[in-house]
A and B are shown apart, each in its own frame.
Chain A
Amino acid sequence: MLEEVEGAPIRVGERKLVPVVRVTRRVRRRALVGSDRVAAQGQGFVHLRPVAIVERSAAGERRIPIHDRTTQMLSGLLLAAFIIPLLLGVAVRLARGRT
């Protein structure tokens, strides 16, 4: 289950900051009743990722996004790790085509 929720505002001086968080949660519960056995199990997973902060002041309302730079950089490096070997493979084909 994925949803974006606004949290309780944080007041700093005259400014009010409202956090916006993307919540991902998955909960599973299971119970088993048999003739000679009773069992129950459950698993839960929750991920809270801040996505923005809404600043409300006398000047108005402003939404400021929060970016995960580390994940963006790691994703870029992973993408390069896939693309560069493909480009080198194309270079090999072109080189063999000329000979």
Chain B
Amino acid sequence: MRIADWSAEGREVMGTDIQRVLDQFEDLRKKADVRSCFGKPVAAEGHTVIPVAAVTYAFGLGITEAEPAGEETGATAQAAETEAEVEVTEEVEEGLGGGGGMLVRPLAVIELTPEGTLVKPIVDEQKVTLAGALLIGWIALCLARTLVRIFGPGQVRGKPGETP
């Protein structure tokens, strides 16, 4: 059955599903709340602490509706029309998929004291240590290659014109 032959209700449902997918993204800028980066203030011993984090989120959604493969034969269509009660069904192949993720990374802590306001950054020591270890290994490899190229057995030394 061609899409043009679908009933008005079928076309309306199809349009609603498609529009719903598109509407998911329309208010994205409203959902990006700035306050989500700052936690609730915690007060203790005259000091107030506010956690600060960087927030990243992403998601995707897709929907498709298509006619099924194959066509009705003329005999089948005529037999359906001669029935006293014809049940019209719309066979539609449809698929829907989506995914998303969110990442929250602590950046700093805002400390409010009677003396003033301080921003204390948070360092991810595990990441920095791992990166430092990789850097040391990389430098060691480069240094070893350098020494082999300078002092290696394949390097011929001597004054020009002399036989080594």
Contact-size category for B? 35 or more
Specify the main secondary structure of chain B where it touches its partner. mixed
Which residues of A have CB within 8 Å of B131? 73-74, 77-78
**Complex contact B146–A46 (CB within 8 A):** no
B7 on the A face (CB < 8 A):
no
In the complex where A66-B119, A70-B124, A88-B142 touch, is A40 in contact with B60 (Cβ < 8 A)?
Answer: no
In the complex where A23-B32, A70-B124, A74-B131 touch, is A38 in contact with B14 (Cβ < 8 A)?
Answer: yes
B75 on the A face (CB < 8 A):
no
**Complex contact A21–B37 (CB within 8 A):** yes
A-side interface residues, number (CB < 8 Å): 58
Which of A's residues lie within 8 Å of B, judged by CB? 5-8, 10, 12-13, 15, 17, 19, 21, 23, 25, 27-29, 31, 35-50, 53, 55, 62, 64-70, 73-74, 77-78, 80-81, 84-85, 88-89, 91-92, 95-96, 99
